Amino acid sequence: MDVDSETEEKKNPTWDIGLTRELVTAVFGAAQWKKAHPSVRSMTDRPDFCRYHYHEALDMMSEYIESKLKETGLWGVYEDYDEFSYLMLKIRANITAFVQSLHAVADTCSHMLYYSLALDKLPKPLKERDIYAKEVLKRLEQQRDAGHPEYDKLCRLFREITTGDDYKYLNALTNTSKHRSIVRSELNEDVTGRREDKWILSLESFWYAGELFKKTNAREFMRKEHDRTQHLTVNIGVELNDALKKLRPLKPTTQAIEEIR
């Protein structure tokens, strides 16, 4: 994103991943960056995957509505029900992939922070299977309280990823779909003319951990939670760079990475 305004840059920050590489290498060494790099790279891959699956699912649905249903209504699916069934299979596959990629962002972010800040060098490092959001946030907060106030904003941003009603729904939806049963998407048509959108793609209701999660508008949920998560991950990347700038380098680098830019 090219912006001329400093105010605009603060409002819509960009995360310089090249600078992350330089900073991690300067502070902790090339070997540490080698451990951090796969997760840093995946923090851009995951949003790209989400966007791909989002557009695949909703564009297929929109095209089918335009070409088939606008003239016939939902009864038109029975003219070629095999075509409609295959369409819904592809849509469900893309929505399930979207949900699982978006849910994985929190744990991918956990690995990125854990290795980028060399938390694995602390006494009693976490086992690989224990590097997830709750445990890494705990370690990060311990470091903040032990004399690293530069981690404070990073802790607050990271905590936000796994909080809120939409994340609660995402977590329940992902775990249900992964371990119990696929939560299916359904196409609903309004024949009353009272609803703004005549056709809505919804995720069916389901139970998780003793709680009922009601039928949800798939498009609205996917857009809203993706945008929330994407905004947070960019801000976390920006704040990670700011925190690394405040840490003492292990060895001199080229003009302290151009005075840390």
Q: What tens digit of pLDDT does each residue of 54-104 get?
A: 999 999 999 999 998 888 888 888 888 899 999 999 999 999 999 999 999
The answer to whether residue 1 sits within a structural domain is no
Residue 191 tokens read as 């024949």
Q: Cβ neighbours of residue 68 under 8 Å, at least 6 residues apart?
A: 76, 77
Q: What tens digit of pLDDT does each residue of 131-167 get?
A: 999 999 999 999 999 999 999 999 999 999 999 899 9
Domain count, the chain: 1
The torsion angle over the Cα atoms of residues 121, 126, 127 and 130, rounded to 10 degrees, is -140
Residue 117 tokens read as 């800040």
**What average pLDDT does this structure show over 184-207?**
91
Q: Which domain holds residue 135?
A: 16-250
- Using pLDDT thresholds of 50, 70 and 90, give the confidence band for residue 11: low
Lowest mean pLDDT among 7-11, 40-44, 218-222: 7-11
The answer to whether residue 261 sits within a structural domain is no
Asked if 90 and 60 touch (Cβ cutoff 8 Å), the reply is: yes
The answer to whether residue 9 sits within a structural domain is no
The Cα–Cα gap between 19 and 15 comes to 9
Question: Could you tell me the pTM of the whole model?
Answer: 0.87
Of 254, 249, 258, 256, the C-alpha closest to 29 is 249
The answer to whether residue 5 sits within a structural domain is no
The answer to whether residue 77 sits within a structural domain is yes
Residue 27 tokens read as 């502070």
* Model pLDDT, residue 254: 46
Residue 178 tokens read as 């992964």
The answer to whether residue 54 sits within a structural domain is yes
Cα dihedral across residues 69, 75, 81, 85: positive or negative: positive
The answer to whether residue 176 sits within a structural domain is yes
* Model pLDDT, residue 79: 85
The answer to whether residue 160 sits within a structural domain is yes
* Model pLDDT, residue 225: 95
* Model pLDDT, residue 5: 35
